[in-house]
Amino acid sequence: MLSANISLANKTILVSGAAGFIGAALVQQLLRSIEPICIVGIDNLNDYYDPGIKQYRLRQISQCAASKPGSQWHFFQESISEAHALQQIFKRFKPSLVFNLAAQAGVRHSIKHPEAYIDSNIVGFFNVLEACRYNAVEHLLYASSSSVYGCNTKLPYATEDPVDHPVSLYAATKKSNELMAHAYAKLYAIPCTGLRFFTVYGPGGRPDMAYYSFTDKLLKGECISIFNYGNCQRDFTYIDDIVESLCRIAACAPKKSLGPDALPQAPYRLYNIGNNSPVMLLEFIKTLHEELIQASLLPPGHKLQDQQILLPMQPGDVPVTYADTQPLERDFGFKPSTTLKTGLHKFVQWYKEYYKL
């Protein structure tokens, strides 16, 4: 296992995408587990999905911060694509650690709105790298994605596998982030860790994700579209496991060292963050359906097949995602392990409470 070389206590930590699903969960966990700490959140609160959920997450963070008087929470409604605003925040707070979780998400959305992905995922990430370059950041952690594996057929996906054939612009921007981060790590000795997330789900999640939109439609009596005739497999990873991984990795920055040529080596790592247990989409929907009935959101005897439409694969989708998490286990003694039934149960209970059903 790796030894921690950074203490998060008494540090200023910047989290971009702080009102997003992963960002908000991370901020709350940092506030709960480390005191004192100063967290600076940035989010543009765009309307890609319901901004009301982002405001809800910010209220949750504020409540958590209020219970920790020794710590600080600062939030700025800014976009990382605005270089001057980002530079001013870095100049004012001088963060020691940076979690770049801001990004335009969604594979299918990238087909219709490619400009949003270049603006946020390329220009925005470049701005973050530049800000880290001039502010002596101890560790930059940034969100990549399992989508970089494209149509690779070797399973499970390992970070050493070639990822040169993306099948969506979203995937291409995430691969670009990895290359950009490596270049900055090499040129400016910025310790960087990239995190390839696999299908994150759980309470307070994104309404555009399948489990959330399926719930919406089933409760409204609408049909759900199931692509690849339900034969897709996804490595569903529960939000708490994602956050635990982030917190462990944050304290272990890649070390700066010299290579055999006496030149600095890039202090750079990549990890898969997945459940290492892919589930067939039809099985996933069946489990969600059972939880909705158990929570009395659907009536006993509700027939799922009456609300299903089986369709062929969509452009940009891949048939399977499956994470090799051995490096995560080796370096940090941790492996995401929340079962799908447990995770969906907690999501359904949250959904019922959030929408007051």
226 backbone dihedrals φ, ψ, rounded to 5°: -115, 110
Q: Which two tokens stand for residue 267?
A: 């202090």
Q: In a 10 Å sphere around its CB, with 0-12 CB exposed, 13-18 middle and 19+ buried, how is residue 135 labelled?
A: middle
Q: Which two tokens stand for residue 187?
A: 């040129």
Instruction: Assess whether the previous peptide bond of 319 is cis (omega < 30° from 0).
Output: no
Can you state the percent helix, strand and coil of the chain, rounding each to 5? 45, 15, 40
List 49, 157, 170, 211, catalytic entry: 170
Which of 14, 20, 13 has its CA nearest to residue 60?
20
Enumerate residues 6+ apart whose C-beta is below 8 A from 149: 157, 161, 163, 318, 321
Tell me, what DSSP letter sits at residue 318?
-
Crossing angle of the two packed helices 210-220 and 281-294, in degrees rounded to 10 = 50
Q: Which two tokens stand for residue 263?
A: 């030149």
Q: Cα-atom radius of gyration of the chain, to the nearest Å? A: 20
- Length of the chain equals 357
Q: Which two tokens stand for residue 177?
A: 């982030």
Enumerate residues 6+ apart whose C-beta is below 8 A from 321: 146, 149, 157, 198, 199, 233, 234, 235, 274, 278
Q: Catalytic site residue 271?
A: no
Neighbours of 154 (CB within 10 A): 11
Which sequence positions are flagged as catalytic?
170
